[in-house]
A and B are shown apart, each in its own frame.
Chain A
Amino acid sequence: AQSVTQLDSQVPVFEEAPVELRCNYSSSVSVYLFWYVQYPNQGLQLLLKYLSGSTLVKGINGFEAEFNKSQTSFHLRKPSVHISDTAEYFCAVRRGNNDMRFGAGTRLTVKP
């Protein structure tokens, strides 16, 4: 079954620094990958998605991710983070119709 692994449970970073949140997937077939963000006491908000085509995907809030088939990765990046980016980030994969599964999450903390 398809799944995703988020390699870092916590990532602290200073404001205006670049950040990369890592996600690896396991699948032998075509995949549909997503990144979501969850702010405190809120639901999940879609940041970006990879369905097909260009391997570099741009999302909201200045985030982007690169699909790398040879490394089975879908890492999330931002060149310069803000305090407001502090949140929980989830990588997710569609496991067939009707089903979406999430990684364990990465807590991004942006420090002044």
Chain B
Amino acid sequence: GESVGLHLPTLSVQEGDNSIINCAYSNSASDYFIWYKQESGKGPQFIIDIRSNMDKRQGQRVTVLLNKTVKHLSLQIAATQPGDSAVYFCAETQGYQKVTFGIGTKLQVIP
């Protein structure tokens, strides 16, 4: 499944499928990007980051893709599990300035 847009969309994915969460960032000068996962009633948890001199970075079951031309960031989750259900936020920053968070995407995993 895949989500697009600046609203707060809900992405429903079957357990075991791959998920793609998209984010359009605003500042072309941003040089560092982070994905956070927030479970209900908890604080955001760091997932993966990427610098602007890269276009892809892989972690365990997660991959972040960066397209600076169109100011687009995506988070791919392989073999989505029920524990992946949460709201996912992208965040951007320039240097050590304050971090700006995107609106977020709610991921629902269907068992």
Q: Do A and B come from one complex?
A: no
Q: Which residues of B contact A (CB under 8 A)?
A: none
